[in-house]
Structure 1
Amino acid sequence: MPTKDRDRFSTATRLRVLGEQTAARVYRSQTKRQARRSRLTGRAALLALVLCSMIVALAYPMRQYVSQRAEIADVQKQQDQARERVEQLRDLKARWQDDAYAEQQIRKRLHYVRPGETGYTVAGQGTAQQSRTDLRAARRPWYANVWDGVDRSDASDQ
């Protein structure tokens, strides 16, 4: 047998060839796996980029939507309060249309009396602090009381 044929059938040669074939297969499968991994990684990166772009693109409109909904709720609340106030004012207007109610309020607020009636004003109603303040105000000149009133109203605004 020639050496070439004998080498071909020798165990060492067969093991070497088998090892080379196995190494080639492993290398090819690793290369395919790496190629597949890199493709999946690229796809994943593209998907992540698209998702991030969509989130960024939708973030501002969503924020605007939420803030506008809150604004609408506030305006509706104000509108409900205004309607309630209008109803109160209509009731008050209807009461003032009644002559008996108007007369009652005039007598109470302006201390009017009918001809032949005697009007009384009770002094000392209120707290002791008010009485002392009223007495001090009565002893001072009228212009000092006016300026004190202006100062008090100015201080209450702050």
Structure 2
Amino acid sequence: MADDGSGPTGGRGGDDATGRSDGARRGNPALTSRAAILAVVMCAIALSLAYPVREYIAQRREISDLRSQEAAARRQVEILSQRKQQLGEKSYIEREATRRLHYCRPDVKCYIVLDGDGGTGRQAGTGGATSRPPWYEALWRSVEEADRPR
């Protein structure tokens, strides 16, 4: 019986049921040389873009920080300009002099209340046990306490 190519194998040296020959069915490796080169090129591109992208993000963050600092500086300038305007007004200066320095104009009667007990000069709570000792006594006691052996 001669092989004329009409049999189930077709006489073509091992065609399978799908019609592919052994040469086309040769083992396709998972990673061909073209795929390896493509992977290396993609990695090189990714690595070459990583640094500029990181720098771009850092610069955007720095710009954001500088903008917030600029806004804070603008607010401070606005506050200081208002303060400058206040200090330029004579009535504000007179109010502050009266309030802070107890300045009194010659044509005005001013009173200063020192304490609420009628001006005797004594403090309201003069109980001996509730008053604190002077600072130097507290310091000396702490030195004596530290000097004691334990």
Q: Distance in 2 between matches of 1:24 and 1:69?
A: 65
Task: Structure 2: state its 5+ residue gaps.
Answer: 117-123, 140-150
Encode CA deviations 1:7-26: one digit per residue, 9 max, x unaligned: xxxx2x4379x769421667
Map Cα deviations across residues 22-65 of structure 1 (whole Å, 9 max, x no partner).
21667x94334548x46x82222222211111111111111111
Which runs of 5 or more residues in structure 1 are unaligned?
Answer: 1-10, 125-130, 148-158
Aligned equivalent of 1:106, options 91, 97, 113: 97
Aligned to 1:90: 81
The whole-number CA distance in structure 1 between the counterparts of 2:52 and 2:60 is: 12
Runs of 4+ more than 6 Å apart: none
Match of 1:31 in 2: 23
The percentage of aligned residue pairs carrying the same residue is: 33
Residue in structure 2 matched with residue 65 of structure 1 by the alignment: 56
Aligned residues: 120
For residues 69 and 113 of structure 2, the distance between their equivalents in structure 1, rounded to whole angstroms, comes to 42
Corresponding residue for 1:118? 110
- CA distance, structure 2, for counterparts of residue 41 and residue 66 of structure 1: 37
Instruction: Give the counterpart letter for 2:70 in structure 1.
Output: Q
Normalising by structure 1, we get a TM-score of 0.59
Residues 62, 69 of structure 1: CA spacing in aligned structure 2 closer, same or farther, 3 A cutoff?
same
Query: Which protein has the bigger helix share?
Result: 1
Q: Find the aligned partners of 2:21 and 2:3 in 1 and give their Cα distance.
A: 22
The one-letter amino acid paired with 1:22 is R
C-alpha deviation, 1:85, in angstroms: 0.8
- What TM-score, normalized by structure 2, do the two folds share? 0.61
Q: CA RMSD in A?
A: 3.5
